[in-house]
Structure 1
């Protein structure tokens, strides 16, 4: 259900809908909308804002959703890398298991560095697009 609610928000012209809008559009109960929104809020994919002059909430897709999602994933990779390095040290880096853990930690370190470079290039691309400059590949 959360994926349907997210897709509806993403596909809306404004990127935001009320609970009633979502229930009507998706033909689901208000309880189903509430559960989906609760999950999507917990994973930071949607936010809630009060409709001006109303008591109704609007749910919206976060600005720069994917950038923020990948950035949070980068933090997870850092934790995994450190855990793997600790495991390699505990097992002994010259044991077969320790070598596998150290190699996996090296992979996560490499992946993290590449992701940071990709995110920097994405930022540059977004700035260029907003400024009306040509955007490379």
Structure 2
């Protein structure tokens, strides 16, 4: 019996893209940006133009531009010129989820510091509002303190996944 590679299910892939975009939107991520990022992730091609993204998503190329700007700003997507054309192609940045997490780590400290100001404004940790804000401050301070070790563990894990030790 001859080997037959798995067949791509375009309908299931479109459903996956929409479901993931909806999940990210539930967390506050712009819906179109989610659709674009998962269309890029689901593409077998390394990069797509705005027109190709628009065609796959059933929207106008103009509808793609804001999402692309947002994703480029987050450093999740890179813009590459198409030689001999005025068009650009867009691709996922290598290890983009890691890069976004690293870039947003300073936000954790900012949130923790802001919550600490709220604790003081509420009259301290012994007030009901101060206790809730202190919990938020302490959580984000803990995440900030522990994130570098977690990211280092991920890097080591990723290295083992892609370069397993010899048997």
Alpha-carbon distance in structure 2 between the residues aligned to 1:13 and 1:67: 21
1:126 corresponds to which residue?
A: 158
TM-fit CA distance, 1:129: 3.4
1:116 corresponds to which residue?
A: 148
2:96 corresponds to which residue?
A: 65
1:50-91 deviations in Å (ceiling 9; x for gaps)? 123433210111111111221233211110111222332344
2:86 corresponds to which residue?
A: 55
Counterpart contact for 2:48–2:89, Cα < 8 Å: yes
Alpha-carbon distance in structure 2 between the residues aligned to 1:103 and 1:21: 46
Candidates 85, 88, 99, aligned match of 2:116: 85
Alpha-carbon distance in structure 2 between the residues aligned to 1:23 and 1:101: 43
Gaps of 5+ in 2: 1-31
State the SS of the aligned residue for 2:75.
coil
Counterpart contact for 2:115–2:133, Cα < 8 Å: yes
Greater relative CO, 1 or 2 (CA 8 Å, sep 6+): 1
Do structure 1's residue 103 and structure 2's residue 135 form an aligned pair?
A: yes
4+ long deviations beyond 4 Å? none
Alignment: residue pair count: 133
Gaps of 5+ in 1: none
More moved, 18-27 vs 3-12: 18-27
State the SS of the aligned residue for 1:133.
coil
TM-score between the two structures when normalised by the length of structure 1: 0.78
More moved, 83-92 vs 72-81: 83-92
Candidates 38, 52, 57, aligned match of 2:69: 38
State the SS of the aligned residue for 1:48.
strand
Alpha-carbon distance in structure 2 between the residues aligned to 1:21 and 1:99: 51
